[in-house]
Amino acid sequence: MKTFLAATFLFLSVLPVSCQSHRGSIEPDVNEVLDTNAQKLLQDTKAFAVSISIVKNEKTFTKHYGEIDKGKANKITDTTLFEIASVTKVFTGTLMAKAVLGGKVNLDDDVRKFLPGHYPNLEFQNRAIRIKDLLGFRSGINQKFPDVSSLRTMEDDSTTFRLKEFGAAYDKSKFFEDLGKVALDTFPGATNYYNELCPELTGYILERVYQKDYRKIVEDELLEALEMNNTFFTVPPSKKLLNGYNENEILMPNFSYAIWGAGGMLKSTMGDLGKFLKYHLHLQDKVVLESRSNIGNSNENWNGYLWDNINITRNGIRCIKHGGAYGVQNLFVAYPEQNLGVLIVINQSTPMTHEKLQIAENAIVADLNDFNQYHGENYGYSIKNDNVVFRYVHSEKLDNHHIKSISVAGTFNDWNPNHDSYQMNGLGQGVYELSVPIANFQKSNTHEFRFVINKNSWLTVPKAISNRTHSKRYNNITLSVSE
């Protein structure tokens, strides 16, 4: 596998990685998309600096905006080192995908098979936690791990400093001690409980099956193979991490973990992390395909191997991972069917930063993929013979087999994508329709709605249509029955 990765990267490395290196009709469009959305993100967040990379059709376009420290005019560059935080989990998941394909691990293995001890508590009504449950954040353990609630009784500017001190002292022996005390409150595999237990335990299991240190596995199997020479667990003496700030513009500390760090300890650069994003756009690589597979057979969204969310969008499959450190956040998003990836890094971490990164990513993809489409169109419905006919078309170029349902949710059904009367019918060739008597909408002449795939994936709304609402957050489709 390492040989294949290296060969793949050598092919890709001959392509330019800076937007200034490209010439042709695509460059002005991509640069305009970068500039427009970066400036809006800076304005909306009041952050000091942001960097955005777009990987499109094997080419990488990267630009940097603002200044790292207020008033110092110091910009992020392609080689600025920053904490990728939870995006580390994608590295961990990718390695587990390789281990599964290599027969080192079975997804249905009881995790206790690999643990140093018996741990009778790691089951619920005789059903044990399996490898696949860790990968989907469905361990059945509904609690923070480790428990830091006592450090967060009052959130203030000093909270993150207390958390860093705790993390630096929390070692592997304490991890296993606490693991023996947890209790499951539901069947493993049933409910998504996001916590650090899942990736950290995955990191330990990787050590057992590879017979070497987790961090060495990452270095040997991924960083070396993809020539990610500026990605580290420990910052070299010659390097300095990107400064990051909280909502009060206080300089924040960096993460510190005495355990494996499989959930959030990698540091990287825009250039290096762009290589990893490009790798995850591959449609033929078996490890990449396995890492985003629906291992839990969900009819809705899924997690693959430690992703935050894998869902079906207007642009096909989307794999998304958010990384949030104390003062820096990033968003790592792959649309493999479009050969499109988006990476955003911002040196701010507040309760609202994640959502604003997501809004920016949605806007970037819409600007790229909806270019010269839908201008002035009335989108999503028509009125025929006293019926409102909702219509959604999913491109035939995309793989539709992951679509289990498409529904209409709006002001007329309490935004409920599970409403039985608003499930669309597949007509073939990616066309879905639903006819509803216009009388059902008479309580109001104007409504808003969205299309929802698999009950959980709310589709973005094309920017250029005539019947789009305008909001600073999320936009809807306007339905008018007054005509």
What global pTM score does this model have?
Answer: 0.92
Dist CA 200 CA 88 (whole Å): 11
Q: Is 21 helix (H, G, I), strand (E, B) or coil?
A: helix
Cβ burial of 240 (10 Å; 0-12, 13-18, 19+) is: exposed
d(CA 46, CA 426): 44
Q: What gap in Å lies between CA 44 and CA 341, rounded to an integer?
A: 23
Q: What is the DSSP string of 364-389?
A: HHHHHHSTT-STT---SEEEETTEEE
How many angstroms separate the Cα of 154 from the Cα of each of 158, 159, 183, 248, 330?
A: 10, 8, 26, 16, 26
Token pair belonging to 374: 């839908």
Cα–Cα distance for residue pair 146/304, rounded to 1 Å: 24
Give the distance from CA 68 to its chain's centroid. Answer: 24
> What are 265's two structure tokens?
């300890």
**DSSP sequence for 153-206:** SS-STTHHHHHHHHHHH--HHHHHHHHTT---SS-TTSS----THHHHHHHHHH
Q: Is the dihedral of CA 63, 66, 67, 68 positive or negative?
A: negative
HSE (CB half, 13 Å, CA atoms) of 321? Answer: 28
Cis, bond preceding 146 (omega within 30 deg of 0): yes
Distance CA 265, CA 255 (A): 7
DSSP H or E segment with residue 444: none
Q: Which residues of the chain have pLDDT under 70?
A: 1-28, 472, 483
**Angle ∠(147,148,150) on CA atoms, nearest 5:** 115
Give the C-alpha separation, 41 to 49, whole Å: 10
Residues 6+ apart with CB under 8 A from 97: 287, 288, 290, 291, 305
395: tokens are 């491109």
In the chain the first and final C-alpha atoms are separated, in Å, by: 61
- The b/e string for 157-177 (b: 16+ C-beta within 10 A; e otherwise) is eebbeebbebbeebeeeebbe
Cβ(346)–Cβ(46) below 8 Å: no
Residues in the chain: 483
CA 323 from centroid of its chain's CA atoms? 8
C-alpha span between 353 and 332 (Å, rounded): 14
Strand partners, 431: 393, 428
Domains of the chain: 2-369 (3.40.710.10), 381-480 (2.60.40.10)
Check residue 239 and give left, alpha or beta (phi > 0: left; psi -120 to 50: alpha).
beta
> What is the sign of the dihedral through the CA atoms of 324, 327, 328 and 331?
positive
Residue with tokens 């792959």: 334
Cα-only R_g, the chain: 23
β-bridge mates for residue 330, sequence order? 323, 345
Residue pair 340/324 in contact (Cβ under 8 Å)? The answer is no
Q: Is 390 helix (H, G, I), strand (E, B) or coil?
A: strand
